[in-house]
């Protein structure tokens, strides 16, 4: 059932429960010269038959291709293979790429759609909570270089994003919890009411369909920010809430201990501690109890805190060495603060270690 459509730039974003068949029908797939589906085997095993049947019900016989699992798949080699596959099957500018997967498949395949013949339509069915809240919104598509993440990419909106709660049922719990942190971040950015309702969700949600209206509220936070700042000139930086320390934690632990969302969850706690030292009076007590059951043991007592702070200086959103910290003074009252005193950052990190160790 479709609950709502919203328009964002060139995309129509739809959310609902068991809704992708209905949306695909509305998109008139038969008007395209061909349909190319890209997914990952693990996801396809759960949801592929349903998607293929939905496409065939539109009178279209899709070509289907799986890409490997994992962040390392977002590379120029796989990108090139997909372009060759399209060309081998004589895809043209009136063909469509249909993507079923999380942010890895979405970023990669969206960039393929952006590049092939200087741009073709793509339709995205995000299958992780992270991609439903975050990666599917805003049109950023990219692959990684050995030098860094997302270094080659583009802004290329999918024609449609189909956010269907039913695909989340098969997502491993750890991935659910990691994606949840971006959802929680949206609550913190938006308002006390949204923050509280996201924070109050049970740790293991067996059925997301009942929470679809709340998921939609979270996603609309990103929609609004992207609408106002499509090319990341200012406001969009607030979406980086929790990410400056989050990225440092990921780098410090060599991307082995925490999923991205888990590190962001820890970063969210940390910035509330910084906020308090910069004059914030909102009482964020309780946030630790929301994050802790959703992340692996943090092990922060053993951290080299100076090294961790040095790593925050590498944040790619920094300009000429000055890091913009996104500081949550209260839910809905988040500010970009350019350059925060090292002593303040250190003091907050000491508190973080004390609380989370
Ligand atoms: N474009 C953007 O604006 C943006 C924003 C945030 C993140 N990203 C990118 O997103 C990527 C991370 O995305 P992710 O967290 O979705 O990870 P992911 O795509 O790697 O998916 C996580 C894991 O879950 C599996 N999976 C996905 N959906 C499933 C389902 N429904 N059932 C069972 N298993 C399923 C995948 O096969 C994978 O093993 C990163 O590369 C990041 O750079 C992009
Ligand atoms: Zn993130």
pLDDT at residue 230 in the model:
80
Distance CA 267, CA 211 (A): 25
Q: Which residues pair with 99 in a beta bridge?
A: 38, 124
- How far, in Å, from the CA of 98 to the mean position of ligand 2? 24
- The verdict on 180 and 144 lying in the same domain is no
Task: Look at ligand 1, atom 34, and give the residue with the nearest C-alpha.
Answer: 171
The percentage of the chain sitting over the pLDDT mark of 70, rounded to a whole number, equals: 99
pLDDT at residue 316 in the model:
65
How confident is the model over 288-305, as a mean pLDDT? 97
- The verdict on 111 and 212 lying in the same domain is no
pLDDT of residue 231 exceeding 90: no
R_g of the chain, CA atoms, integer Å: 20
- The verdict on 9 and 157 lying in the same domain is yes
How confident is the model over 211-216, as a mean pLDDT? 95
- The verdict on 136 and 279 lying in the same domain is no
pLDDT of residue 320 exceeding 80: no
Structural domain for 349, as ranges: 173-356
Question: Which one of the ligands is nearest to 247 CA?
Answer: 2
- The verdict on 255 and 319 lying in the same domain is yes
Q: What is the CATH number of the domain that holds 125?
A: 3.40.50.1970
pLDDT of residue 201 exceeding 90: yes
pLDDT of residue 204 exceeding 90: no
Q: Which of 118, 139, 170 is the last residue of a domain?
A: 170
- The verdict on 216 and 157 lying in the same domain is no
| Among 133, 186, 222, 200, CA closest to 328 | 186
Distance CA 291, CA 262 (A): 8
pLDDT at residue 351 in the model:
98
Distance CA 84, CA 278 (A): 53
Six-digit token pair at 66?
């799986």
pLDDT tens digits, 64-108: 999 999 999 999 999 999 999 999 999 999 999 999 999 999 999
- The verdict on 195 and 302 lying in the same domain is yes
Q: What is the CATH number of the domain that holds 285?
A: 1.20.1090.10
Burial of 173 (0-12, 13-18, 19+ CB in 10 A): exposed
pLDDT at residue 224 in the model:
95
Task: Look at ligand 1, atom 7, and give the residue with the nearest C-alpha.
Answer: 135
The percentage of the chain sitting over the pLDDT mark of 90, rounded to a whole number, equals: 92
Task: Look at ligand 1, atom 21, and give the residue with the nearest C-alpha.
Answer: 102
How many domains is the chain partitioned into structurally?
Answer: 2
pLDDT at residue 119 in the model:
98
Angle between helices 173-190 and 212-228 (to 10 degrees): 60
Q: Which of 154, 170, 186 is the last residue of a domain?
A: 170
pLDDT at residue 317 in the model:
60
Q: What is the mean pLDDT of the chain?
A: 96
- The verdict on 149 and 134 lying in the same domain is yes
pTM score above 0.75: yes
- How far, in Å, from the CA of 22 to the mean position of ligand 2? 30
- The verdict on 148 and 288 lying in the same domain is no
- The verdict on 163 and 192 lying in the same domain is no
How confident is the model over 161-172, as a mean pLDDT? 97
- The verdict on 254 and 118 lying in the same domain is no
Ligand 1 is surrounded, with C-beta below 6 A, by 40, 42-43, 46, 69, 71, 74, 101-105, 107, 127-128, 130-131, 134-135, 138, 140, 149-150, 167, 170-171, 175
pLDDT of residue 169 exceeding 90: yes
Instruction: Report DSSP letters for 164-216, one per residue.
Output: EGGGGGGS-HHHHHHHHHHHHHHHHHH-HHHHHHHHTS-SS-S-GGGGHHHHH
pLDDT at residue 335 in the model:
96
Residues 13 and 133 sit within 8 Å (Cβ to Cβ): no
pLDDT of residue 318 exceeding 90: no
pLDDT at residue 164 in the model:
97
Q: Which residues pair with 160 in a beta bridge?
A: 12, 123
Q: Which of 138, 170, 202 is the last residue of a domain?
A: 170
- The verdict on 182 and 160 lying in the same domain is no
């Amino acid at each position: 059932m479709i609950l709502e459509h919203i328009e964002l730039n060139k995309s129509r974003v739809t959310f609902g429960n068991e809704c992708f068949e209905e949306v695909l029908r509305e998109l008139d797939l038969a008007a395209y010269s061909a349909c190319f589906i890209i997914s990952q085997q693990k996801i396809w095993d759960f949801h592929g038959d349903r998607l293929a049947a939905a496409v065939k019900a539109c009178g279209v016989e899709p070509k289907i291709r799986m890409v490997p699992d994992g962040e390392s798949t977002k590379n120029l080699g796989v990108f090139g293979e997909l372009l060759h596959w399209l060309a081998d099957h004589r895809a043209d500018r009136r063909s469509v790429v249909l993507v079923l997967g999380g942010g890895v498949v979405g970023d990669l395949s969206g960039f393929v759609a952006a590049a092939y013949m200087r741009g073709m339509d793509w339709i995205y069915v995000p299958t992780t909570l992270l991609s439903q809240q975050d990666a599917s919104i805003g049109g950023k598509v990219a692959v990684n270089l050995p030098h860094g993440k997302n270094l080659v990419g583009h802004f290329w909106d999918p024609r449609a994003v189909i956010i269907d709660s039913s695909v989340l049922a098969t997502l491993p719990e750890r991935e659910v919890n990691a994606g949840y942190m971006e959802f929680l971040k949206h609550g913190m950015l938006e308002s006390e009411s949204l923050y509280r309702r996201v924070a109050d969700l049970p740790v293991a949600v067996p059925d997301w369909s009942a929470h679809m209206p709340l998921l939609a509220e979270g996603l609309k936070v990103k929609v609004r920010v992207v609408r106002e700042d499509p090319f990341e000139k200012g406001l969009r930086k607030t979406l980086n809430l929790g990410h400056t320390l989050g990225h440092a934690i990921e780098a410090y632990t060599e991307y082995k201990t925490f999923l991205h969302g888990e590190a962001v969850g820890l970063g969210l706690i940390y910035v509330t501690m910084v906020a308090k030292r910069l004059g914030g009076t909102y009482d964020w007590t309780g946030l630790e109890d929301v994050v802790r059951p959703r992340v692996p043991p943090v092990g922060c007592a053993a951290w080299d805190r100076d090294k961790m702070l040095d790593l925050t200086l590498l944040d790619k959103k920094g300009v000429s060495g000055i890091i913009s910290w996104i500081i949550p003074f209260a839910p809905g009252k988040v500010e970009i603060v350019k350059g925060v005193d090292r002593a303040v950052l250190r003091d907050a990190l000491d508190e973080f270690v004390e609380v989370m160790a």
